[in-house]
Structure 1
């Protein structure tokens, strides 16, 4: 049989048949929730900013303190005196080191989003991992201007007041 005969035969067989409508639906992947995306971003930031091996040069005597290079030393003094009341508090009691890193990133991001320049991190009084690691982690974060052991009213030896660079707002630059 020739091709023409095949086409003719096929046309005759298909006479009166209606074409089927398309019934396939292409489902798109549902977008990830904002919370899931923020958690993923915080994990990446924690891995980027914080190294457990890095130990900044800390003063051997006196309270725990840090001042970013090029920052105004008077800011550290104001932190020590309690001139900056913390608007956000983070209690790390009971946290593992990895969880604490994520929480610190979340705290700093919350400070930046809400234009809050001072926060308090409570790591505990004992000689545990967090008491030693939290200051080292904070010294590595580019948005931390300074931190100082908190006055007694905010936790004393077991807490740090952290001064965060909140960047540019409508009014201009803050604490650069």
Structure 2
């Protein structure tokens, strides 16, 4: 049994209510016709620009066991032997601006090593002489590994802790060799 609602309480006139009831006589509820959306299968990210052979060649220079660089303070600084010893100072003062920035935040050491190798190969291909590598502070794992990887690569001339505008103690500015 339906409950009758007072017309006065809803603010609708009796004539309008009667007209509405006549218009919906014989109406039936609509059956559910909604189909839940199906998420498309996710594609795995794949590097199409770097073959596995090329990746192996890029990673050739990096050894995890090699520890040739030991930080002696808050600032990291290194200049390849036989190069201008003032290069690190130029990087510290921000005289050379990086052409590309690589952010390693949240990466594992393996991912970071692959990305760093890719960055150095890209800089060599594009003839960039300066790059910024943001390793972050965090637990300091990448902060310790990145300098050791960099000093093994023949195209790295020098690196220094980045100026404040580029990340300070969580980043390094690299000076790279370019083909003359």
**TM-score scaled by length of structure 1:** 0.71
Asked whether 1:136 is paired with 2:148, we answer: yes
Asked whether 1:83 is paired with 2:111, we answer: no
- Please state how far the C-alpha of 1:49 moved relative to its aligned partner: 0.6
Give the distance between the partners of 1:133 and 1:154, measured in 2 at CA.
Answer: 19
RMSD: 1.7
Give the 3 Å change call, closer, same or farther, for CA 146–36 of structure 1 in structure 2: closer
Give the distance between the partners of 1:34 and 1:90, measured in 2 at CA.
Answer: 19
- Please state how far the C-alpha of 1:117 moved relative to its aligned partner: 0.4
Aligned counterpart for 1:42 among listed residues 55, 58, 61: 55
Hey, which bits of structure 1, 4+ residues long, moved more than 3 A?
none
Give the distance between the partners of 2:161 and 2:57, measured in 1 at CA.
Answer: 28
Assess if the C-alpha contact under 8 Å between 1:68 and 1:144 holds in 2. Answer: yes
User: Larger Cα Rg: Structure 1 or Structure 2?
Assistant: 2
Assess if the C-alpha contact under 8 Å between 1:58 and 1:65 holds in 2. Answer: no
Q: Please, which moves more after superposition, 155-164 or 53-62?
A: 53-62
- Please state how far the C-alpha of 1:92 moved relative to its aligned partner: 0.3
- Please state how far the C-alpha of 1:99 moved relative to its aligned partner: 1.1
Give the distance between the partners of 1:166 and 1:105, measured in 2 at CA.
Answer: 16
- Please state how far the C-alpha of 1:76 moved relative to its aligned partner: 1.3
Give the distance between the partners of 2:143 and 2:82, measured in 1 at CA.
Answer: 26
Q: Residue in 2 aligned with 1:123?
A: 135
Give the distance between the partners of 1:144 and 1:161, measured in 2 at CA.
Answer: 11
Give the distance between the partners of 1:64 and 1:77, measured in 2 at CA.
Answer: 11
- Runs of 5+ consecutive residues of structure 1 not aligned to the other structure: 1-32, 169-176
Considering fraction of residues, name the structure with more helix.
Answer: 1
**TM-score scaled by length of structure 2:** 0.69
Give the 3 Å change call, closer, same or farther, for CA 145–41 of structure 1 in structure 2: same
Assess if the C-alpha contact under 8 Å between 2:69 and 2:147 holds in 1. Answer: no
Q: Deviations over 1:101-126 (max 9, x none)?
A: 11111111111111110000000012
Q: Deviations over 1:83-109 (max 9, x none)?
A: 011110000001111111111111111
Assess if the C-alpha contact under 8 Å between 1:148 and 1:162 holds in 2. Answer: yes
